[in-house]
Each structure stands twice: as C-alpha cells, then as structure tokens.
A and B are shown apart, each in its own frame.
Chain A
Amino acid sequence: MTVVQTEVGEQASDRLTRGALIRLRFLRNRLAVAGVVILAMMFLLAFGGPFFSKHRWDELDFLALLQPPSREHWFGTSQIGGDVFALTIRGLQKSLIIGLLVAVFSTGLAAIAGGFAGYLGGKVDRSVMWLIDALLVLPSFLIIAVMSPLYRGRTWLVFVVLLAAFGWMVTARIVRSATMSLRERDFVRAAQYMGVPARKIVFRHLLPNVASILIIDATLNVGATILSETGLSYLGFGVQPPDVSLGSLIAEGTASALTYPWLFMFAGSALILTVLAVSFIGDGLRDAFDPGSNKSKKKSKAT
C-alpha cells in the first residue's frame, strides 16, 4: 500500500535537474569515484599523518644519515638525517593545497574572463584581450621574483594567488574563441529572447559547453603547478628551505634517484598518485557533463 502512495506522491518531483543528473552520472563512473577516494586518502594522510609519525619533519636523526627504509624511519632518512616519511607528508600538505587551489583558481579565472569576453564582445572583449596579451608578454617568473621581497614572511598562500594570476591567459583565449562561436547558436539567442541576463547565459549555457576544455586544463594544471612551484622556490620565493614541498623533495631527490631511491621514490609516487586521482576525477566530470558520452549512460534495460 505504501508503494502505491509514494508513486502517486512523487509526481511533482520526478524531474532531475542538470545538477542532479551530473552527480548521478559522475557517481556511476567507477574510476572517477576511485579518484575521489584516492584524493581523500591523500588529504587524510597529509593532515592526519603527523599524528602517527614517530618523527617530526624538522627533527634530524644524526644517528641515521641516508638510511634505507626501516621500522624506525618508514621511508628512510635524508643526507642530514631527516625522516623522509615526515618530510613527504609535510611536502604533501603544501603541494596538495597549492596544486588544487591554483588549478581551480586559474581555470576558474580563465573560464570567467574568456567566457564574458567572448560573449559580450566589444569593449569588455578588447580590454580582457589587452590584459591577456600584456600578461603573456611579461615574464611571470621575473615579476614574481621582483615582488617577492614584498611578501617575504607572509603566508605562502599569497603564492597560490600569484601562480594562478599568471596561469590563466592561454586557456582564457581558448575559452574566448569557443564562446564566440557558441554565442551565435540558436539556443543562446533563444535564451536572450527569453530575457535571460548575460551572467546566466555564460554560466548556464556557454561554460558547460566548453567544460571539456576547462576540465582538461584544470587537470593538467595540478601536476604542472606542483612541479613549477619548485622553480620559484629557487628564486627564493614560495616554499623556502628548510620547509619542503613535494616539488622541492623531487628536485633534490632526482640526483640520487638511482643510488638512494627512497629519497625520490616516495615523493614521486605521491605526486603521481595525486595527478592520477585528479585526472580520473577530471575524466569522470567530463563524461558527466557530456551527454554524448556513453561511459556514464545508464546501460539500457533491453540488452
């Protein structure tokens, strides 16, 4: 009896909105869910790890220099006796946040700037394009280096903002040209004639249609940012020694990758795992957004 009641009562709510559909399609994709789980575990490890670790990251064990992994030092020790497990976890904390935040910020900025420039055209387009061209011409590493004294001693999160600010231009150009061809399509015109404001047209119609570009861009950005951050550290900006990031650990460990593999391997694997998880999630999101993709479609009941 109750079954019948729910069926009748559901009449008004049997429509799935786009958000609900995308969620469903994403959750149906096993790899994507695996990606989310891996990433969640990485965070858990990075922020919960210190509670289990026997050593602190800035603690040096002078009795164990360059030791391979053991019961005392799970991931071995570095040249000066630092615990590699503690260092990797310390690096992971920084790099996860830097990588993900920069990717989300720079792709988001690219989407908004490119989307509005392409859709609105005219003055908005010209000024955004001028800004893009100017930023592309300026050597971003140099600017960050010049500005670094200003921010010295402040939180390293400033660094996230700066990296994002110099990483969005190329994608914004791609998004702009994609939206320029989309805005001539009838469905955009239909929305205009319904009186839908520009802001909603960009977010509801244009950006979802360039979602694949944005997702791929964000996915690639995660790995690239983690690695490029090391370059900036050389210039005396960003994560400074003795503090570590995954990037700096990898950079230091590469030289002894064959002789003392544990210096390099664990940080390297952490990076690979992060990037892999992110690209699984990216793939899942892309398929969830794209109605033409077969992967996340419900298997038809007939077959």
Chain B
Amino acid sequence: MSTSSSGANLIEIRDLSVTFPSEAGTVQAVRNVSLDIRAGEVLGIVGESGSGKTVMSLSMIGLLAESAKITGTINYNGVNLLELNDNEMSKYRGKEIAMVFQDPLSALNPVHTIGRQIAEALQIHSEFSKEAALARAVELLELVGIPRPAERAQSYPHEFSGGMRQRVMIALAIANQPKVILADEPTTALDVTVQAQILDVLKTARDMTGAAVVLVTHDLGVVAGLADRVAIMYGGKVVEIGNVDEVYASPAMPYTIGLLRSIPRIDGTDSSRLSSIDGAPPSPVALPPGCAFAPRCPAAAPQCDASVPALTPISPTRMTACVRQSEIAGLQSSGKLFVEGPRHVAQSSTTEAVALEVRSLKKTFPLMKGSVLRRRVGSVFAVDGVDLTLRQGRSLALVGESGCGKTTTLLEILNMVAPEAGTITVLGRNVAELSKKQRLEMRKDLQIVFQDPFASLDPRLPIGDAIAEPLDNFGMPKAEQNQRVMELLELVGLQRDHASRYPSEFSGGQRQRIAIARALALNPKVIALDEPVSALDVSVRAGVLNLLAELQEKLNLSYLFVSHDLAVVQHVADDIAVMYLGGIVESGPVDDVFARPQHPYTQALLSAVPIPDPKVERVRRRIILQGDLPSPANPPTGCRFHTRCHVRATLSPELAAKCVSDRPELTSRKSSRVACHAPLN
C-alpha cells in the first residue's frame, strides 16, 4: 500500500479503526485508516472538526479514553503500539513519540516551574542529574526562542503568554530527541503573528532533532508552508494523500477540490465569489453508507453510495479514495465541479452618505485591588482613540489580534450610550443625544451577528420564535410575523418547516444563517458582524460569506466586519481599519492597504497570514514580529507598536527616539490614513 519515496517508514498504521460508545450511538471516529509516517518528513493531516484527525494522532501515543475501541495495528520499529499496556507505552511517550497539544495552558502543570517540568521529562527517560537536567532545560528554552531562558525557567506557566507557552511545549516535546513529534493544532489558539513565530520554532525543532513531524490542523495555509506530504481526512477516513505540491496544484478528490476552492486567499487577485460546498460535515454517529462525502459531492453518482471507496494509488506518490476518480479531471475541466460564483462587484451606487462614524472613542476598565477596601490601582486602556467611518452600502473591516480592543469597540457602538470619550454617530445621529425611545427606534437600524452561533441562539427557543423576537418586540401582529419569518428563512437559504425546530437540530453554518435572519428581521441598515465565520468549519465558511455578500447587494446593507482573519477580510470588505492595542494604526480601501501597506504592523500582519499554496508560501518573504502584544494595562509610550516594530531598527536615531516619545496621529497619506512617523511605501 505504501507509496515509494525517500525515507523509510517510521510508523505504519494499518486498518486503524477507533469507535466510542455514546448515548446517540456508536461514534465512528476513525475508519480503516492505513497511513505511513516516514523518517524526517513533515506530514500534514488536514480535516474539519469530527473528521477523526485528533483521535488518530492520540491513538499513536496511547492517550485515547478508556472507552475507545481500537482495532488494527500501529507499528513502530516492529512493535505494535496498540498491544502495549500503559506502563510499556510510557517508555515510548516523550522518548520516541512526543506531542505538542493545542492548548498549552492546560498541557502544562500550573504548580511547577517550567524548568522543573522540562527537567522532569529529561530525567524520566535518561540518566540526568538534577543540575544537568535543569541546565539542559535552559538550553532547550533558548533553542525555542524564549528570551532570558535561565531566568524564565524559574517561572510558572501562568506567567507566560500563549505563544511563549507553546514554545515551552515544543521544548518539552524535543527534550528527549524523539523520532516523531505529533503537533495537534499547535497554532489554532494563537494570533496570526504569533502563529508565524511558532511555525518557525517548529521548523527549527525539526531541523535540530531530525524528527518526523505530524502536523494536525484544519488550516490548509499552515500545511502549505511546512509539510512535505499531506493527508486529507473526511468522515474518519483519509480521502486523499500525496506530496503537498501535487495535492494543492491538482487535487483529485472532490472534497479536496471543493475545500481548496472555498477558502479565501489573501493574495487572491479578484474578489470572485467563493465556490461553496453544500451541506455540513457528517456526524460521526450517522455516517452515510458509501462515500462519506457523497451527500455533499457535486459529482456524486449512484455507485458512490454502494460501498466505502478504498484509498487507491493514482500515481506513484498519490492515493485518493473516489470511485469516479477517472472522470473527476474531465468534470473539473468542463466546469461542472464547484463553479465559482459571479464576481463581487463593488457597489457602483455607493453614496457618500455615512452609516456609522466613530471619533476618538475611548473605553477604559478599572483595575481594582483588595477584597475589603477595593481601590483603583490602574486602568486597562481597552480602546484608546478609535476613528472609524462606514459608508452606506459598503463593508468596513476592523482587524487586529486578540486583545487589541476590536470587540470592545463593537460593543461600545452597539450599546448606543454616550461613550467615556469621543462620539459615536449612527446614521447621522449622535447616540449620546438620543432619548430612551429614540434609542429603541435606532436599534432597528443597527443589528449584530455574533461569532459563535452556538451561544448566540437561545437553546430553548424554536428558531421561528427567535427570528420573530425582534418583530414581536416592535409590535408586529402575529400573522405578519409568521409571514416575515418565512420570508427571512427563505432569504438565508433555509426551509419554511425549519421554523418549529430548536437550534440544537442545526449545524454551525445553518445556525449562523439563522442568526443572520434574526439580524435582518427589522430591515436594518447597518449590521455588525463579529467574526461571523471564525467558529465555523472550513467547508461551510464560503457558503456563509457568499450569503453575506449576496444580502449586501440585495438589501443595500452596510457591514461593520470585525475579524482577525485577513484572508476573509480581503474577500468581503471594501475598506479596512487595522487596530493595534486600542488604536487604529492604518485605515483605507482594502485593495490599497493590502497591496501597499504603509504601517509596519499592517505589513507584518499581512505577511504572517499563511497562503494555501505551497509554491507561493515557501518562497515569499515573511516578517516575523518579535514578542507578544503588550498589556493594555501598561501600554508602551509613544507609538504603541514601537516595542515590536521591525522598521524602527532601520531608522535614524532621532526618528527612532520620536517613536518612543510621541504618539503618531492618524493622518491622510495617499488613499489611506496611517499613524506612523516613518510610513512605508
């Protein structure tokens, strides 16, 4: 079964199946997977939630729950790892096969210093004295790029930022020179600039140890930059595997084709509508009888449902699981698979009328100390001087890393009360001057769609009632409410009879459509979208993004789009405002800002976003920022960005000093506005 290429097989997985009992039925997490991991390679395992990728990686290291039923073999050096008991497995864990977990906070013990935790890992597997182990721990910390490692080894996990903790996890993983490093979504919980740092560290770690890396992720961009081979998983099976370049250049399985076509790319030249995959990933409790992807596949034929297709070689280096394999290429070239929608035309009728204007908005949270006599010891400057202008019929994206204050800005706008400082003007009216009744009327025009559709719908309210809630609240008669609910359901692509179901019966993508329908109920003019697709599976994002674009054209909506995902922003927004530590550093038309970023932070942010194309991703120059976002409770003086700025080092001493002393104002420059003493381009 194995494909011939350089490197001997280190781990051979044969016919691995993992099932879990659950109340709803048997969960078929992994189904008959056969896979080789070769010495020294980086294997990317890509799949959506529920595709079985994490369960498969955990089964290699023997960390599955007791209730899991595992069949098949996992051979490592001639030993079947599945036959070992926990004690015997401990000799392999960490020593031969190491793991980097997604959430480094829960993976580190909070009551021990990190130096001690690394030393412990060393002492378990090798003969190290306590002092030697600690000294080695410091070396390892230095290797993964932790500044002042000797000092930091004495710190506890909570004293590190998320990115630093993940570095510690990598140091732990490479401590015993393992042959295989399993990295399960190592960067998913991190910001994009920190993600770039960690991927870099992972590369270093691989080069230092020569270990094979298994990179489990849902992000095709991350895999493109790092992996040699990629395995695509769907419904508990590997559906396509091959060299990264080949798979990305000419995907063979319809799921891979759809996935690659449906993700927005930051370097996309035109803003064509994304092709979307219908439906949602199958539940691992109720998988279809044949090919798991058949219900969503545009090339599905009757034979697809007959039996589960086996992984068959299509070239010496590639295998795919599709019964219509021979016909796929033909279908693809004749444009029958995942056609891209019509171009998103920038609204020609765009008026200069302003839908939403924010001027020097400020919001601080008090820092309190003491339990009996509470006193204010400082402030968190969450939002500190934000200017935004959203024109009618356009989309303004507010981007920035977590903790930069973008959500606080959004909530301040939606609260519609007089802010701490600055002004908020909605549709030409200053919200500070509204009476209670006027404010209520105003709420009709400004609605919100939240990030997490699982939290934003009341689990105990049928969705028809949820959509009717705003209508009911503004006194619409019951009969008209029904009519309107049905209209709205059809508008967002759901069926009329969905109205009397509860939210738990819907998938993430459908729920987000329901949330959008609710926001649209009162015919608002402005909709605030708080990361509307980041909680959704990759394959359903495109559908929701297309829906948003379509609705904007149809209903002439203005969107305030808050996001950290620049590729999505590039796809949907007309204008962009980049936020860093409570302030806007650059704003302007999205095409101009992306093509010629003027602020060093924008430039770094753009370069940190991985592009799902190995050819581009491997050759482009990346700017990797140093350090983490400073605390908003104690922001740097002058330009907030000067502590991490890569451009400042190249400036004249006078200018560099100015960055530390004076805070730059947002000033117009070319087509954009930028807050920098030494703008680029």
Interface residues of A (CB under 8 A from B): 11-18, 20-21, 185-187, 189-191, 193-196, 200, 204-205, 208-209, 211, 289-292
Evaluate contact between B461 and A18: CB separation under 8 angstroms.
yes
CA distance A190 to B496 in the complex (A): 23
Considering the complex, give the chain B residue whose CB is closest to the CB of A196. B473
Of B297-305, B396-404, B444-452, the one with at least 4 CB within 8 A of chain A: B444-452
Evaluate contact between A193 and B443: CB separation under 8 angstroms.
yes
Evaluate contact between A291 and B460: CB separation under 8 angstroms.
yes
Evaluate contact between B448 and A193: CB separation under 8 angstroms.
yes
B530, chain A: closest CB distance, angstroms: 9
User: Can you show 17 pairs from A to B with CB atoms below 8 A apart?
Assistant: A11-B496, A12-B483, A14-B497, A15-B486, A18-B460, A20-B500, A186-B455, A187-B455, A187-B457, A189-B456, A193-B414, A193-B443, A194-B469, A204-B461, A208-B458, A291-B503, A292-B504
Residues of B contacting A291 with CB < 8 Å?
459-460, 502-505
A183, chain B: closest CB distance, angstroms: 12
Evaluate contact between A190 and B473: CB separation under 8 angstroms.
no
Considering the complex, give the chain A residue whose CB is closest to the CB of B443. A195
CA distance A209 to B503 in the complex (A): 13
CA distance A12 to B484 in the complex (A): 9
Contact residue among B447, B456, B460, B465 (Cβ-Cβ distance under 8 Å from A289): B460
CA distance A271 to B228 in the complex (A): 73
CA distance A21 to B485 in the complex (A): 17
Residues of B contacting A195 with CB < 8 Å?
439-440, 443-444, 470, 473-474
Residues of B contacting A186 with CB < 8 Å?
450-452, 455-456
Evaluate contact between B500 and A21: CB separation under 8 angstroms.
yes
Is B462 close to A, CB under 8 A? yes
Residues of B contacting A194 with CB < 8 Å?
443, 447, 469-470, 473, 522
Is B482 close to A, CB under 8 A? yes
Residues of B contacting A200 with CB < 8 Å?
473
Considering the complex, give the chain B residue whose CB is closest to the CB of A16. B500
Interchain residue pairs A-B with the least CB separation, the first 4: A291-B502, A16-B500, A186-B456, A195-B443
Residues of A contacting B522 with CB < 8 Å?
194
Evaluate contact between B459 and A15: CB separation under 8 angstroms.
no
Interface residues of B (CB under 8 A from A): 414, 439-440, 443-444, 446-448, 450-452, 455-462, 464-465, 469-470, 473-474, 479, 482-483, 485-486, 496-497, 499-500, 502-505, 515, 518, 522
Evaluate contact between B458 and A187: CB separation under 8 angstroms.
yes
Considering the complex, give the chain A residue whose CB is closest to the CB of B416. A193
A203, chain B: closest CB distance, angstroms: 12
Evaluate contact between B518 and A190: CB separation under 8 angstroms.
yes
Residues of B contacting A289 with CB < 8 Å?
460
CA distance A186 to B449 in the complex (A): 10
Evaluate contact between B496 and A185: CB separation under 8 angstroms.
no
Considering the complex, give the chain B residue whose CB is closest to the CB of A191. B469
Evaluate contact between B462 and A21: CB separation under 8 angstroms.
yes
Residues of A contacting B456 with CB < 8 Å?
186-187, 189-190
Evaluate contact between B459 and A209: CB separation under 8 angstroms.
yes
CA distance A15 to B515 in the complex (A): 18
Residues of B contacting A21 with CB < 8 Å?
462, 500
Residues of B contacting A187 with CB < 8 Å?
455-458
CA distance A84 to B482 in the complex (A): 57
Residues of A contacting B458 with CB < 8 Å?
187, 204-205, 208-209
Residues of B contacting A14 with CB < 8 Å?
496-497, 499
Known contacts A186-B456, A205-B458, A291-B460: does B500 contact A196 (CB below 8 Å)?
no
CA distance A204 to B455 in the complex (A): 16
A301, chain B: closest CB distance, angstroms: 13
* 7 further contact pairs, Cβ within 8 A, besides A190-B456, A205-B461: A15-B500, A16-B464, A21-B462, A187-B456, A193-B414, A204-B469, A211-B460
Evaluate contact between B450 and A12: CB separation under 8 angstroms.
no
Evaluate contact between B455 and A15: CB separation under 8 angstroms.
no
Contact residue among B460, B470, B474, B482 (Cβ-Cβ distance under 8 Å from A208): B460
CA distance A208 to B497 in the complex (A): 23
Evaluate contact between A189 and B473: CB separation under 8 angstroms.
no
Contact residue among B451, B457, B486, B500 (Cβ-Cβ distance under 8 Å from A11): B486
A9, chain B: closest CB distance, angstroms: 13
Evaluate contact between A12 and B479: CB separation under 8 angstroms.
yes
Evaluate contact between A16 and B499: CB separation under 8 angstroms.
yes
Residues of A contacting B485 with CB < 8 Å?
15
Residue of B457, B462, B505 with highest tally of chain A CB at under 10 A: B462
A132, chain B: closest CB distance, angstroms: 22
CA distance A201 to B465 in the complex (A): 13
CA distance A195 to B475 in the complex (A): 12
Considering the complex, give the chain B residue whose CB is closest to the CB of A11. B486
Residues of A contacting B483 with CB < 8 Å?
12
Residues of B contacting A211 with CB < 8 Å?
460
Residues of B contacting A13 with CB < 8 Å?
482
CA distance A189 to B415 in the complex (A): 10
Evaluate contact between A193 and B504: CB separation under 8 angstroms.
no
CA distance A15 to B501 in the complex (A): 9
A194, chain B: closest CB distance, angstroms: 4
Residues of B contacting A205 with CB < 8 Å?
458, 461
CA distance A20 to B458 in the complex (A): 17
Residue of A11, A18, A289 with highest tally of chain B CB at under 10 A: A18
CA distance A261 to B503 in the complex (A): 54
Residues of A contacting B461 with CB < 8 Å?
18, 204-205, 208
CA distance A99 to B456 in the complex (A): 39
Evaluate contact between B460 and A209: CB separation under 8 angstroms.
yes
Residues of A contacting B455 with CB < 8 Å?
185-187
Known contacts A195-B443, A289-B460, A291-B504: does B497 contact A18 (CB below 8 Å)?
no
Residues of B contacting A185 with CB < 8 Å?
455
CA distance A209 to B458 in the complex (A): 8
CA distance A15 to B464 in the complex (A): 7
Residues of A contacting B440 with CB < 8 Å?
195
Considering the complex, give the chain B residue whose CB is closest to the CB of A187. B458
Contact residue among B450, B469, B496 (Cβ-Cβ distance under 8 Å from A196): B469
A237, chain B: closest CB distance, angstroms: 40
CA distance A292 to B448 in the complex (A): 27
Considering the complex, give the chain A residue whose CB is closest to the CB of B465. A18
Known contacts A187-B458, A209-B458: does B447 contact A193 (CB below 8 Å)?
yes
CA distance A185 to B503 in the complex (A): 15
Residues of A contacting B515 with CB < 8 Å?
190
Considering the complex, give the chain A residue whose CB is closest to the CB of B446. A193
Considering the complex, give the chain A residue whose CB is closest to the CB of B453. A186
CA distance A209 to B482 in the complex (A): 24
Residues of B contacting A18 with CB < 8 Å?
460-462, 465
CA distance A18 to B462 in the complex (A): 6
Considering the complex, give the chain A residue whose CB is closest to the CB of B458. A187
B115, chain A: closest CB distance, angstroms: 37
Residues of A contacting B518 with CB < 8 Å?
190
CA distance A173 to B82 in the complex (A): 50
Residue of A15, A193, A209, A289 with highest tally of chain B CB at under 10 A: A15
CA distance A211 to B459 in the complex (A): 12
CA distance A34 to B464 in the complex (A): 31
Residues of B contacting A209 with CB < 8 Å?
458-460
